[in-house]
Amino acid sequence: MNRILAETYPDAHCELDFGTPLELLIATILSAQCTDKRVNMVTPVLFAKYPTVEDYANADPREMEEIIRSTGFFRAKTNSIIGMARAVSERHRGEVPGKLKDLVALPGVGRKTANVVLGNAFGVPGLTVDTHFQRLVRRFGWTDETDPVKIEHFVGELIPKREWTVFSHRVIWHGRRICVARRPACGACPLATLCPSYGTGPTDPVEAAKLVRSGPFS
């Protein structure tokens, strides 16, 4: 299944726009309950106004809230970003850390966000267990676990570590494009012959093809 996903999505990558570990960390915090497309519309203004960790740490919360308002939960996200920046400034001399234990100790940063940053900004393999990832590995019949950490560890035993980051992208891309939550396009799925959940969505190829989506996504 991993091989087929690799063939289907040879260009799978992080769909958040960023240039530095700090920018990816900020963008990932903003992506909670928000589409990548919307985040990418907001971050150019945000990144230009706050180019350094210190700029975020000393930001006026009301000004930041207005910039990120359209991403939803803007007050909580503002608090997370400012708190994270202050912690990075105080604990890590203004540099986003490249270790899981240090990242998850930052305000507003969980394992999912940490693995996104590690895998895509530092080249450290990590599995991004978001809602798409969880849904798909259960549909694949790989696990019936619902706890993200347990899923991460279980799938980590199945997939070679060097592929963890790109495998996450493949699964997430598949979950956004074909194996969507409500009506998966089973009849257009390259994994159809291997998937125990085949038939959850329309199996007619013509009908299923109409359900296939294009990105960027949430």
Catalytic sites, residue numbers: 112, 130
Q: Does the annotation place 34 within a ligand binding site?
A: no
- Report the C-alpha gap between 12 and 187 in whole angstroms: 22
Encoded tokens for 30: 């903003």
195 is in an annotated binding site: yes
> What is the Cα–Cα distance from 203 to 182, expressed in whole angstroms?
14
DSSP-derived 3-state class of residue 87: helix
User: Residue 115 in contact with residue 128, Cβ under 8 Å?
Assistant: yes
- From the list 213, 182, 178, the residue with the least C-alpha distance to 200 is 182
Give the span between the Cα atoms of 166 and 5, in whole angstroms: 10
Largest CA distance in the chain: 57
What residue numbers does the annotated binding site for [4Fe-4S] cluster cover? Answer: 179, 186, 189, 195
What residue numbers does the annotated binding site cover? Answer: 179, 186, 189, 195
